[in-house]
A and B are shown apart, each in its own frame.
Chain A
């Protein structure tokens, strides 16, 4: 545990020495990177030792805050969140050396690194906290540090707006959590977290609803996802990776930890989480399809993946309500493994997107094209991340989705007919998977394949620098490892499930996770086939002519602007979701016999933020100003009337 605390402290202060170095020097950022690496390595090592030891490691130290206690607890459940955190934070800090060098960003580089370290340290603390006050303290530090990362480029209006939306939603969520912990403390009589599966209280419903809101905002469950797309788009790419890959997961961690306290889980909890998960999954990916901005698109995919995790969690909760151990194990394992996987492949995608943005200076997918020739490493990393996030074998995304599918199929083991309806999660997952394939084929195909669509894309002359490439390849290896050797994570998943639901008899299960090594084996066979066939075709076509133009139905003078764009690729599919997306189209109409040049643009606003919340709040603000104009009407007699009424009211109060 000492190592863990040392790791947290080292990471937290990693940005501080930079302020004592010169504005343009490299020493500050190198030192910060070294401190972060040492910090996360020591935290990760202590977590590994804990896992090896078998029993959770606990630290209790006094804290001057009333009711507070420096109570830390490392168990397998927290470990599954901490390990990817350490990997992504470490990779991100190396990536930052090349992506956000102090020399190029003298204005905000040092501030960025201060809050990067602080964010990482506060998340470690959130995941290890065993006391409500400590948890909330770390939670707030995390929220504020993330705000400063989002507004790194505060001179841009877009970043300020994104930061503001994030801050408001984060604090709305935090408010709910404060209320939740107060109710929880009244229930247990202490601010210390209760032991798993011990709580049986009357206010469980209230606690669950407050927790679902508070943690749901952080996780980005639809319709609470409003802060996510703008914030991910505005932050520098390695901060987006951290936000999307790890910060969102603290919300999932909160939900898991909270539900673990209760001895009895009412079925409607599971149904609610499951329904929210399905909605987030389908609409998250549909909204992603309609985006033109690469980083916004990836952000909507985070909503989708949080949805998939919530589906797994919902199934696991139902498993606890209906006492089905296999359902609990499969649902929790799927959700937890997807937490890890999403952290890995989403960071990989954000890192490679960052490399593209860095080289082209644009986030518009339609401004890229032909980048595979110019950035081969970045392209391979993005492609692997895309295959992984679509849940396709042989990468890690498939393994976790496979577990969640098995959980959905497992509901037939129960006697209850209503429970069997939960099998509908499987077709929903299939739809999500199909849409994700469509979306990532679009991004990869339009950005990396074909001819460059703009002069900027054609002018790209460098691939990711080694400091960018190293972290990307590390994450790629991690994705491949879980995809090809999934049997190695099974024991950890089983331990974490026991930690979440200690009352469920997992020992009686035999091998619900036993086919995992076979899934990996099929992945290996696939790789062997691919290598063999690819080698044969490569040899067979080595000397083929490669200097003809693409078949254009006989048209001899094609230009790069005639290529299919991201919007046109998605249009047919997005059209099927017209009812939910309401894409706005501007222009594109041709009039007259000799039509003048016309323009066309389309834009899909966020269903919740732009269509409901902002107009709603505008109405409320309008109403308030109307009321103020009535009350503060500027007439002296009215004010005299107010004074008189107050006087009468006071007199009545005194008389009582």
Chain B
């Protein structure tokens, strides 16, 4: 462990913990602009979190400690996963061969407990949401692995920091550019699925039967719900980070510059998500598996292009 570990980890965590809710605000504002509304202030997610933290939780008499474990694991996993992923040109504080698998499986752990805490309420709606969540995750998982294989092949390494290293800038213009493009599309789809955005899920829907992620957290309230919201915001940022790095492989050489480029990229990504949400309708539930399998095939093509 070198001397820069602590400052680097601190910078990572500060960026993550302070900026994550802002992305949600940017998405909301973008959607409001498209709809011709003024929209909530950019900092609204922070106000929401502060309000929820002041409130009291209410628990169903059916629930047990597993109900609390879902939000706790969600936040803990996102913070830990953030330490494994580079933020733009800032390398990950923890990097070793094979850390990409730990990154993927940590989110599996978070999904396990989110769905378990949904089932803990004994509500059919929450069970339904859980069943959809695990189904889509199963279908998205091979896509993630295909994309990681492509990136690992290009980088010749199995660590996320090397995968998303400075070689990407050259790779885009090289023969692997098409592959990188496909991988970017696939990772964007995975980002939207994992964060329950349109066209896969609608965070603003108000019919329990049609929800996926929102319905799983129907019974959470107060500080417990604050953790759920915060966990979702962190997850969007952590899963968005590789995508931003892929699209903006810029190294400025200074920590402040790198952090600035990364944040700008994240905000642009949030705008992109907002635009997608505004211009697309939500897919029918039965279509989603088909889209996800199609994405897996795209990622497979990306692999075919670089396997030599």
Contact = CB atoms under 8 A, between A and B. Distances in A.
B132 A548 contact: no
Contact of B80 (A450, A529, A541): A529
A518 B116 CA distance: 28
A525 interface: yes
B43 interface: no
Q: Taking chain A's interface residues, is the majority helix, strand, or loop, or is none over half, making it mixed? A: helix
Contacts of A398: 102, 105
B145 A393 contact: no
Interface string A427-447: 111110111011011001110
A444 B116 contact: yes
A573 B127 CA distance: 13
Given A433-B141, A444-B116, A564-B119, A393 B105 contact: yes
Contacts of A548: 58-61
B152 interface: yes
A272 interface: no
Interface in A383-397: 383, 386-387, 390-393
Contacts of A369: 122
Contacts of B194: none
B37 interface: no
B308 interface: yes
B256 interface: no
A526 interface: yes
Contacts of B152: 409, 412
A257 interface: no
B198 interface: no
Interface residues of B, number: 81
Given A550-B122, A553-B125, A393 B106 contact: yes
A541 B68 contact: yes
Contacts of B138: 431, 434-435, 437-438, 573
Nearest to A453: B122
A543 B223 CA distance: 12
B181 interface: no
A203 interface: no
A525 B62 CA distance: 31
A406 B144 CA distance: 15
B39 to A, nearest CB: 28
A240 B141 CA distance: 31
Contacts of B146: 427
A629 B76 CA distance: 73
B223 A540 contact: yes
Interface residues of A, number: 79
Which of B59, B99, B105, B115 has the most CB atoms of chain A within a 10 A radius of its CB?
B105
Interface string A546-590: 111111110000001011100011111100100000000000000
Interface string B56-91: 111111111010110111011101100110000000
A399 to B, nearest CB: 10
A75 B156 CA distance: 36
Nearest to A435: B138
B261 interface: no
A538 interface: yes
A423 interface: yes
A471 B122 CA distance: 31
B121 A450 contact: yes
B98 A405 contact: yes
Interface of B: 56-64, 66, 68-69, 71-73, 75-77, 79-80, 83-84, 94, 96-99, 101-102, 104-106, 108-109, 111-112, 115-116, 118-128, 130-132, 134-135, 137-142, 144-146, 148-149, 152-153, 156, 158, 208, 218-219, 222-224, 227, 289, 296, 303, 307-308
18 contacts: A393-B102, A420-B307, A427-B296, A431-B142, A435-B138, A437-B112, A449-B120, A525-B80, A544-B58, A544-B222, A551-B219, A552-B123, A552-B125, A553-B125, A562-B124, A573-B135, A576-B135, A576-B289
